[in-house]
Chains A and B, each alone.
Chain A
Amino acid sequence: MKFEMKMPDLATTDSAVKVLNWLVGIGSPIRRGQAVIEVETDKATMEVEATVNGTLVEKKCEPSAQVGVGEVIAIIEIEDATENPSSPAPQPAPSVQVENTPAPAPLPAPKKSESMFARNRAVRKPPA
């Protein structure tokens, strides 16, 4: 299964992030939590960690490129779906009583790059 690794909002301002260096090469195995790319935000240089286990199969950006938040920066081949995407739960697994509340119906997907706050603003009526 191919996983699209996206540029996180490391500056927390939604601004583009500059790519400095790749820390792993094509074909390299990657672990969740491993730093794979070094970037520069408006404030600092930082390393970006992978969120999945797998193998790097494609780099989608080159050093010195300005990459927008949420853009795909790499393709990672995930070998074992059971290892992803959440924290590994060690064996053995005991039976646990989970609160039995039905999950609420999911909302329609928001439009791309539109936050909850933007949508709320859009529907807010002007004062009378």
Chain B
Amino acid sequence: MSTNISSEPESRIEKYDRDLLLRLYERIILIRQFEEEVKFLFLEGTMPGTIHQCHGQEATAVGVCAALNNDDFITSTFRGHGHALAKGLTAREMLDELFGAATGCCKGKGGSMHMGNIEKGMIPGIAIVGGGIPIAAGIGLAFKMRRMPQVVACFFGDGAVAEGAFHEGLNMAAIWDLPVVFVCENNLYGASTRIDKVMKNIKISDRAAGYGFRGETVDGNDLLAVYEASRRAAQECRMGQGPVLLELLTYRRTGHSRRDPCHYQTTDEREAWFSNDPIERFIKILLTRSDIGQTDLDLIQAKVGREITDAVEQARRASQPATDDLLSDVYA
């Protein structure tokens, strides 16, 4: 609670543990490289289905998930690759899933839009816009009724704010003081619709006041700012002070899905956000530390690259689910 995030990144980075910083770097670079690889697999035509990618939004996933404990939970969306990798899923179980293999994190039956692993605190992604919000409130209610110390972080986009489920989930979490960190990744566009065309007040964190809890807008491309804000929010939830709404300002560098060429983003806007890249910004402040050098970062990048290459090789050969398994794990 005492952390002052208004200080300059260069000054506050000195407070951080070196290992934590390098772990954060490994996660954020893993997400970028994973998404790049997956893009090419899609273009090759070897991997089935469309994909919703998170290039440019990596810091939100990493910052929030790093602030959680392993047994805390997250809910995710159709754009869930980053959230999953940040919560500790491996490139391998996810690539297997993308290829529809039985060894995937959802046994090959979920695919891109339903990444998850309950053992790692991530229920499979919920592709319905806003659909994860009441579910997160339900998970929070379970934690509270069982007197468990966990919290749940609920990821959704700016488009979800217009859904009825947003109101229902936030209100319920508010009246029962549930331990839910509502994480709005505001990337300015609900699919192709710019936020200012559908909202008079585009500061989404203001909505929290209407429900009687705290909201905060954070620079979502500043990894450490996201991490610190998430730590504070999770701590408040653990202390029983109820939910928090975090609005993380970020930007999607690719189309909504692979079929979207993203023509609605203007060149000026794209260039401004591209020069505000979360990974480049993080590298810049990492290298201000005397105990972190370019070689450290290169080694991590090489390790991540090999991890992904190996996972792709494995996924291409992995077995698909058997027909006998068609109805297993099906509830209704």
Contact = CB atoms under 8 A, between A and B. Distances in A.
B217 interface: no
Closest 3 CB pairs of A and B: A89-B305, A12-B50, A46-B261
Contact of B40 (A6, A32, A99): A32
A43 B259 contact: yes
Given A11-B259, A96-B306, A116-B48, A51 B36 contact: no
Nearest to A39: B261
B323 interface: yes
A44 B298 contact: no
A89 B309 contact: yes
Given A44-B260, A87-B33, A89-B309, A70 B299 contact: no
Contacts of B10: none
Interface in A35-65: 41, 43-49, 51
B61 interface: no
Contact of B261 (A44, A93, A106, A123): A44
B258 A12 contact: yes
A121 to B, nearest CB: 10
B330 interface: no
Interface of A: 6, 8-12, 32-33, 41, 43-49, 51, 69-70, 85-94, 96, 98-99, 103-107, 115-116, 120, 123-124
Given A44-B259, A120-B323, 4 more contacts: A51-B44, A92-B299, A116-B100, A124-B326
Given A11-B259, A12-B257, A89 B45 contact: no
Contact of B302 (A6, A94, A99, A104): A94
Secondary structure call for the A interface:
loop
13 contacts: A6-B45, A12-B50, A32-B40, A43-B259, A49-B43, A51-B40, A69-B45, A86-B37, A89-B309, A92-B302, A93-B306, A94-B299, A98-B306
B13 interface: no
Given A44-B260, A116-B48, A120-B326, A105 B305 contact: no
B305 A88 contact: yes
Contacts of B314: 103
Nearest to A9: B45
Nearest to A94: B299
B309 A86 contact: yes
Nearest to B316: A106
B309 A6 contact: no
B319 A70 contact: no
Given A44-B259, A104-B319, A120-B323, A90 B48 contact: no
Contacts of A69: 45
B303 interface: yes
Contact of B308 (A44, A87, A107, A123): A87
